[in-house]
Chains A and B, each alone.
Chain A
Amino acid sequence: MGSSLYWPALGYATLHTLEFTVLGLAGSLVLGLILALMKVGKWAPTRWVAVVYTELLKNTPLLVVLYIIYFGLPSIGILFDRLIAGSLALTVCYAAYLSEIFRAGLQGVPNGQREAGYAVGLSTFAVYWNIILPQAFRLSLAATGNMVVDVLKTTSLISVIGGAELLTSAENITAANFEPMKVYLIIGGIYFAFCFPLSRLVVWYETRLKAGKNRQRSRRRLEAELREIGAVA
């Protein structure tokens, strides 16, 4: 079977796909959280910037954004290589989607939580970091998990700029061996092999949270500490 020849190429391409996924995700999670915090913030100008950004990017195809970044920006002197351009397109688009998920999560935490934090003399940062974000995280978990899988699948769009990820590689291979059915089935399988465990992982973690496994762990930790200071028998 001649297929053995293209396995190394596919392995290499898989790494690129994961690279785009990780960079795109990291960027969009950070930017999405910043945008979400801007949207729930008190200050109107930043709130509007975040809202306009979100609407703009949410309603523009990622493919078009990618073309603008990779083919458009060079005409005004801004050049990115394929890795940066691809990751950037994922970042700016998914930040818009994620910011909506995070905003809903942040707003899902009752206002009394914020007030209780302020009332005991915590700073705004301490209130968000210790009280609001942990609860908002739980509320956003399922939707965020879906986005993680979505980013991985969407990296295939980067093939239009020859991103050297799985789909690009598959196109190159079929151009040489004329076995599109086989090659595309194989990369479909590779995508699935990554996405399926990932979505199961999210479901597993959610169930774990619901079952209070993390609670039990922090309770055990607390009880150990209390024994140490002699507060309980």
Chain B
Amino acid sequence: MSGDGAGEVAVGAPASLPGETPSAVPAIEVRELYKTYPPQRRGRAYEPTPVLKGVSLSVQNGEHVSIIGRSGSGKSTLIRCMNLLEMPEAGVVRANGVTAFDDGLKVNGRGLVEFRRGVGMVFQQFNLFPHLTAAENVSLPMTKGIGLSRIEALTRAASMMRKVGLADKMGSFPHELSGGQQQRVAIARTLAVQPKVVLFDEPTSALDPELVGEVLEVLRELAGEGMTMVIVTHELAFAAEVSHRIVFLDGGEIAEQGTPDQVFRNPTNPRTQSFVSQFGTK
């Protein structure tokens, strides 16, 4: 597809990446990803809706990539395909050296579980388990996923909760926490199984404005530790601050990508220019 050439050029490790060789195996990559939502059975929309039209993206270890774009551009679908919560029709999804999806062939159930353990995801709506305490939310993936004992898991959960600044909220249930606190618990839950890559699907979009800061603070800290991160976000200033690379998605294709400076200050694609001039913060 047309955007491919431009995409590949920029995929090489950005200069700011510590100690990466250009030939390093990417932490996570998708290749020529196609996704179409089936036609609606009811109503007028009988046409299938193409959402991703051959998107290729590869993220190096320790790299922070932000995906920006208008609503409906395919950002969320793209990131949801990266851990196969959404199954693409065609393309390749590969992470941590494992090919989990290759043109319609996907790994078996066991393999998929293993694959997802290496690729964490933080959701817009937090999706904490409402019937469990914060500490149990964080320890459930460890006890029921990787088979730690409850005490081991709680010990690790406690250190995760301390990391996100909620050591005193271990015994709280999700409905007793603010949105920002819930999202921080969700981040702790994701980190607990020690994924190699974390995907953030609009992590602050559901938050009241005054709670956005505390979540971004946690993300900033994670970025500082060198975690590999892919972030779908509308917080352009934040994206510019923490990202090595900005990917601008438009109409299911990567319209432009590059360093924050390139994309926000000197966009070459007219579609990027219009988006940045409309939403960009200078």
Contact = CB atoms under 8 A, between A and B. Distances in A.
B145 A122 contact: yes
Contact of A135 (B130, B151, B189, B192): B130
Contacts of A113: 127, 129
Interface in A175-233: 212, 215, 218-219, 222-223, 225-226, 228-229, 231-232
Most chain B beta carbons < 10 A, residue from A119, A123, A218: A119
Nearest to A215: B173
A116 B155 CA distance: 22
Q: Is the interface of B mostly helix, strand, loop or mixed?
A: helix
A172 interface: no
B141 A120 contact: yes
**Could you say which interface size class chain A belongs to?**
20 to 34
Contact of B127 (A116, A228, A232): A116
B85 interface: yes
B19 interface: no
Interface string B130-149: 11110110001100111000
Contacts of B189: 116, 120
A196 to B, nearest CB: 30
B83 interface: yes
A118 B85 contact: yes
A146 interface: no
A112 interface: yes
A121 interface: yes
Interface of B: 83, 85, 109-110, 113-114, 116-118, 120-121, 123, 125, 127-133, 135-136, 140-141, 144-146, 150-151, 154-155, 158, 167-168, 170-171, 173, 186, 189-190, 192-193
